[in-house]
Amino acid sequence: MTRAPAPLTAHAVTVAGYPGVEVRPERRTPLPPILWLHGVTNVPAYATPFLLEFAAMGFPALALARRGRLGVPPRDPRSITFDDYLADCLRVFDATGGEAVVLGHSQGGLLALKLAELRRPPAVVLLAPLPPRGILAAAPRLQTLPASLSSLGAILAGARFQPTLRQSSALFLNNVPRHLRLDVYRQGVPDSGRSLRAAYVPGVPVDPGRVLGPLLCVSGGLDRAIPAAAVSRVARRYGGSWLNFQDCGHEFLHEPQGPRVAREIGSWIEAQVQDRDSS
């Protein structure tokens, strides 16, 4: 009788001094690792649903913390800047030997785009990315205006940033099933409003002429935080492909369509790897 393979699980890992989680495929494959750059208030374990999907396709996949999380100083996140977070991401990417595909979500998407300007990853995926300078997200809708204004105040003041459950439900978790929202919300940690402020005033510049590798920009049609139209403009400016999921919001990982999104991203990455190897 053939024994069923053991289910894939996430394991704790530390890379370049940054703790996180890693999921490895059942068997070694020639596919490159996928490095997940998390969004604002997130921790590495938040990415586990996507890491499991990637590993099932044969990709080693890992997500690592930035400073201000999981014991990485400082304890108070208010002093952390966007450049600090970028330095963390560059250290982690360099520690992978520069071979990892970089996938960034939300604020992590802007960090991934900036990393692609400074390094040459084999491919980059931006999942609902915070736009760079020169590309504006749409004005908030009426139902999200109170949450948007409250969040913007903390960002512009450089204060500790951690939306309430009500605010998060209005802006980020609107497409997460209601019975899961509290559990998803509780995975968050306080973050740096100062690190987000650079994205709004004056915006983070990224030179399109220096983003040279394969790029995929992914949006959700129900995303209230980063509208699909803004993501499509990022794809056009930086010569990338645009993939829009009309039935998804901002928090793809914990939404019903999350596994399908992860598999389509994995298929795109595999195609880029095959094109590179055949050229």
| In contact, 17 and 252? CB cutoff 8 Å | no
Q: Mean pLDDT across the chain, nearest whole number? A: 91
Q: Read off the pLDDT of residues 38-64 as tens digits, 9 standing for 90 and up.
A: 999 999 999 999 999 999 999 999 999
Class of domain 11-278: alpha beta
What does the chain look like in DSSP terms, one character per residue?
-PPPPPPP--EEEEETTEEEEEE--SS--SPPPEEEE--TT--GGGGHHHHHHHHHTT--EEEE--TTSTTPSPSSGGG--HHHHHHHHHHHHHHTTT-PEEEEETHHHHHHHHHHHHS--S-EEEESPPP-TT-PPPPPPGGGHHHHHHHHHHHHHT-EE---HHHHHHHT-TTS-HHHHHHHHTT---EEHHHHHHHHTT-----GGG--S-EEEEEETT-SSS-HHHHHHHHHHTT-EEEEETT--S-GGGSTTHHHHHHHHHHHHHHHHHHHHH-
Residue 111's pLDDT is what? Answer: 98
Q: Read off the pLDDT of residues 132-157 as tens digits, 9 standing for 90 and up.
A: 999 987 655 545 545 555 667 677 77
Q: How confident is the model at residue 266 (pLDDT cuts 50, 70, 90)?
A: very high
Q: How confident is the model at residue 257 (pLDDT cuts 50, 70, 90)?
A: very high
Domain boundaries, the chain: 11-278
